[in-house]
Amino acid sequence: MTAHAWAELLRVSALFTVPGDALAGAAASGRRPNGSTALAVGASLCLYEAGMALNDWADRAEDAVDRPHRPIPSGRIAPGAALAAAGALTAAGLGLAARAGRPALAVATGLAATVWAYDLRLKHTPAGPAAMAAARGLDLLLGATATGAAGRTTGPGAGPEPAARGSVLGALPAAGLLGAHTYAVTAVSRHEAHGGSTTAPLAALAAVTALGAAALHTRRERGGAPGTARGTTAQTRRERRGAPDAAPRMRSGPGGDRSRPRPPAPLAATAPGLLRTALTGSYVRTAAVPLLHAALNPSPPLTQCAVGGGIRAMIPLQAALAARTGAVGTALAVMGLVPIARNLARKVSPT
């Protein structure tokens, strides 16, 4: 057993598409990443790798025919070792989630159950893409739950800060978008061994276009929805409370008209929008180009390239979802994973 064989089994080049799930979830919770976010990232990585090992263990007979070069059918890794790794990684992931709190553990347990159900039972059924989509959505919710639970504070005479806007409800839209992308890519992946499907790449191409349009829209703030902690000015908060503005107002005459011209939006207010547009464009380009090639020529190599492109496109999508809430720093940090994933993909296939 070599390190390279384990790198193939665990798809280490695809591993860098995982941290962005928890980070995008943290952004959707309306709070900055914290120690619990790091625990969620660790749990996500462990559970993802558990799924990779379990996938190859479950598909070892099929791979012996279609992919004899894979680590298990080629004899480089024993089936029992792969299954043991899947179990150990699952336990490690749940242990890290437990340290982030009981809500995070509950989400991680659902994620682990989904991963095992997909690999052992659902993968080759019509429910397979939906199960994979649910796993990615739960992974994002794990980051939101862990971050939100750790970031709640109390004020004098008040309960937990209004917005239990941290947590699951605030992150559901982002989880839905990431899950929809995962569903489309998984549907294409079902044909990567034999090719022949034009419908799946075309449907995925349409989905990517629609998701790109959805990612461009910021979430409408609602009484402290995610993004307010980062992007709301003191003036906006005073206006919501009905408090007078401390800035001098222009009076038009003796009647004391308090109307005043609105200043143009500063560059700082438009920068997140420009970043979000750039990240969404990167997402669409990364996913759409290989999908278009696969639709025009649904051969196994081009179909596999389309799946690989869809996996890599998750990183700019996660970054765009973070930027959508105003978390510019988080978005840039997620995009920093792109060159690492690209370099590793040249050495180890993500599929």
216-271 tens-digit pLDDT: 876 544 334 444 444 443 433 444 444 444 444 444 444 444 455 555 555 445 77
Q: How far apart are CA 7 and CA 55, in angstroms?
A: 14
Q: What is the phi-psi region of residue 167: left when phi exceeds 0, alpha when psi lies from -120 to 50, beta otherwise?
A: left
Classified as helix, coil or strand, 154 is strand
Residue 340: inside a domain, yes or no? yes
Largest Cα separation within the chain, whole Å, is 90
Domain of residue 147, CATH code? 1.10.357.140
User: How many folded domains does the chain comprise?
Assistant: 1
Nearest CA to 18 among 115, 99, 91? Answer: 115
pLDDT of residue 263: 57
For residue 255, being part of any structural domain is answered with no
Cβ–Cβ under 8 Å, residues 147 and 37: yes
Residue 41 lies in a domain: yes
Phi, psi of 216 (to 5 degrees): -75, -20
Separation CA 26–CA 47 (nearest Å): 18
- Considering the domain boundaries, does residue 208 fall inside one? yes
Pick from 111, 60, 112, 53: nearest CA to 85: 53
In a domain, residue 97? The reply is yes
Residues 216, 276: contact at Cβ < 8 Å? Answer: yes
Collapsing DSSP to helix, strand or coil, 313 comes out as coil
State which H helix or E strand residue 343 sits in: helix 338-345
The low-confidence residues of the chain, meaning pLDDT below 50, are 153-166, 220-258, 267-268
Return the pLDDT at 323.
Answer: 93
Taking the model in full, what pTM does it have?
Answer: 0.82
Give the span between the Cα atoms of 320 and 200, in whole angstroms. Answer: 25
Tokens of 300: 């196994």
Kind and range of the H or E run holding 269: helix 267-296
pLDDT computed for residue 246 by the predictor = 43
Is residue 84 in a domain?
yes
- Domain extent at residue 47: 3-151+169-230+268-345
Cα end-to-end span (Å), the chain: 20
The verdict on residue 161 lying in a domain is no
Is residue 222 in a domain?
yes
